[in-house]
Structure 1
Amino acid sequence: MPRISDTLQTSISVEEVRKDFTLRHTHSIKETFLAAVRRRPLASTFRAIDDVSFQIAEGESVALLGLNGSGKSTMLKLISGVLQPDQGRVLTRGRVAGLIEVGAGFHPDLSGRENIFLNAAILGMTKKEIEQRYDDIVAFSEIERFIDTEVKHYSSGMFLRLAFSVAIHTEVDVLLIDEILSVGDEPFQQKCLARIRELHAQGKTLVVVSHDLDMVAKICDRGILMRDGRAVFDGASSDAVAMMRS
């Protein structure tokens, strides 16, 4: 992922970005053969992001809003580096961590303790950083009794608690959050929100994708509204939420 080097106050720069996906219309060799014989298209192109540009300053909290299929999650993955644009470029400053697929790097046959070290390393933390934060990660997850149990024996709630706790304790400059605040029960969700607010107060840059408009209005100052792959509004989060609700 390229890094911004010329504008100290810019954390994320999205410049005339376009992203296309190929949609396949057949699911088997037989269907492919029949489609070819009948001269039907085997695939088509879907433009998920269409000429989008914006900048996010260091320390800003920004929500990407829009209906399903509007392109907001694709944009978040482009910022994280999981996807690359077909046109334009995305520049970021500092260490970026994406809470996009929480626990994606967990191994079911390893214990919670072992998975903390594995997943935190995948998220870019050094062994020393992990050791320094280990106790905080375990305490935040609230599953101390089961930390040396293989995670394949965890309930889904326990798994998500530990995965989120690892991600939220990563040393980052930019934190990307995609619909993961549904983890656990309400008290745990409130603790997660408090931790995110803490990180923002420390000057971290936040980019949030969520359908929870009330939560977005509380933690984000700015909202970018996506529609059919385009950014149709960029302004105060309260105004973006009002547009969504209308």
Structure 2
Amino acid sequence: MKNEDYAIIVDHTTVRFNMASERIDNLKEYFVKLAKRELMFKEFLALKDISLKVKKGEAWGIVGTNGSGKSTLLKLICGILKPYKGTVTINGSMAPLIELGAGFDPDLTARENIFLNGAVLGHDKYFMQEHFEEIVDFAELQNFLDMPIKNYSSGMSARLGFAVATVTRPDILICDEVLAVGDYAFQQKCEKRMQDMRDSGTTLLYVSHSAESVKSVCERALWLNKGESVMIGNAEEVMDHYIEFLEC
């Protein structure tokens, strides 16, 4: 297949972080050691030679225990992180939901944050006004629009973030466990919207600790462990092996 047929291509990618090898308690000590070239770091590879090709319109689940590199991979794909080795190619527009409250100002009301988050995603004021009621209805926050976001629960913030991010049909939707904080009914509502978006051609990357959710939403899956790719394939098969691993 041609590269244009893929929404996401991750080609032999490694992500490296430098971790301080000693504890430094204040900025003065940090800069003194830095000036004297006494600051020591040790290398940490968060992702190790990861390759992934996601066809346009596919839904992929990304699974693994905490610290396995799932969020690092999504941040790499979103362009937040740069690879130490390898390349990442993206074909299409992207709506990332990789962190609760990303793009929100905690001191502003939900009403104000809808327009702010819309601007972060590249929508103008007219577009947000046109879709304002749709966003509010989906998030089910009609009675809390004039409350500052800092007073919202994590579930309420997730509702609002998901509603804004999915008001259009992006080419690629990325969800990183943000739906885990919502109640069951809202999770089902989000899964239905993701399925509708998939039916219209949106590519989905979905991180979840729920095996049943990954099986129902995704057709393909990637299992990561300690930054390495353990298994890539059919979502049900990958999840069955992953669950066996967890139960050992």
Aligning the two structures, in what range does the TM-score lie when normalised by the shorter sequence?
A: 0.7 to 0.9
Q: Report what 1:90 is aligned to.
A: 88
* 1:22 matched residue in structure 2: 18
Q: For residue 197 of structure 1, what is the aligned residue in structure 2? A: 195
Aligned ranges for residues 132-147 of structure 1 at < 5 Å? Answer: 132-147=130-145
Q: What SS does structure 2 have at the residue aligned with 1:207?
A: strand
Deviation at 1:236, TM superposition (A): 0.3
Cα distance, 1:210–1:153 mapped onto 2, change above 3 Å:
closer
Rounded to whole Å, the distance in 2 between the matches of 1:212 and 1:139 is 26
The SS at the match of 1:181 is helix
Change (3 A) 1:203 1:116: same
Report SS of the residue matched to 2:3.
coil
Shift of 1:153: 3.6
2:163 aligns with one of 146, 162, 165: 165
Give the counterpart of 1:150 among 148, 151, 163: 148
77-86 or 169-178: which moved more? 169-178
The one-letter code sitting in structure 2 at the alignment partner of 1:14 is V
Residue of structure 1 in register with 2:126 after alignment:
128
Number of aligned positions between the proteins: 237
Q: CA deviation at 1:32?
A: 6.9
Q: CA deviation at 1:142?
A: 0.9
Separation in 2, partners of 1:63, 1:156: 23
Structure 1: runs of 5+ lacking an equivalent: 1-5
> Identical aligned pairs, as a percentage?
41
> What's 1:3 paired with?
none
Paired position in structure 2 for 1:8: 4
One-letter amino acid of the structure 1 residue matched with residue 189 of structure 2 = K
- How far apart, CA to CA, are the structure 2 residues paired with 1:109 and 1:32? 33
State the distance in 2 between where 1:144 and 1:18 align. 44
> Is the partner of 1:182 in helix, strand or coil?
helix
Q: Compute the displacement of 1:92 (Å).
A: 0.5
Cα displacement (A) at 1:113: 1.3
Amino acid aligned to 1:46: F
Q: Secondary structure at the match of 2:231?
A: strand
1:34-113 alignment runs, 5 A limit? 42-113=40-111
Query: Runs of 5+ in structure 2 lacking a partner?
Result: none
Letter of the structure 2 residue corresponding to residue 154 of structure 1: Y
Cα distance change, pair 131–28 in 1 and its aligned pair in 2 (3 A): same
- Residues 103 and 164, structure 1, Cα contact 8 Å, conserved in 2: no
**1:230–1:159 Cα change, 3 Å:** closer
Over aligned residue pairs, what C-alpha RMSD do you find? 2.3
2 CA distance for matches of 1:226 and 1:151? Answer: 34
After TM superposition, the structure 1 stretch with the greater mean CA deviation from structure 2, 229-238 or 158-167, is 158-167
What SS class does the counterpart of residue 212 from structure 2 fall into?
helix
Structure 2 counterpart of 1:103, which letter?
G
Residues 10-53 of structure 1, C-alpha deviation per residue, up to 9 Å, x if partnerless?
100111111001122314149879x99xxx98321111111111
Task: Answer whether contact 2:169 2:202 (CA < 8 A) is retained.
Answer: no
Tell me the secondary structure at the aligned position of residue 179 of structure 2.
coil
Give me the TM-score of the superposition, normalised by structure 1: 0.88
Query: What SS does the corresponding residue of 1:198 show, helix, strand or coil?
Result: helix
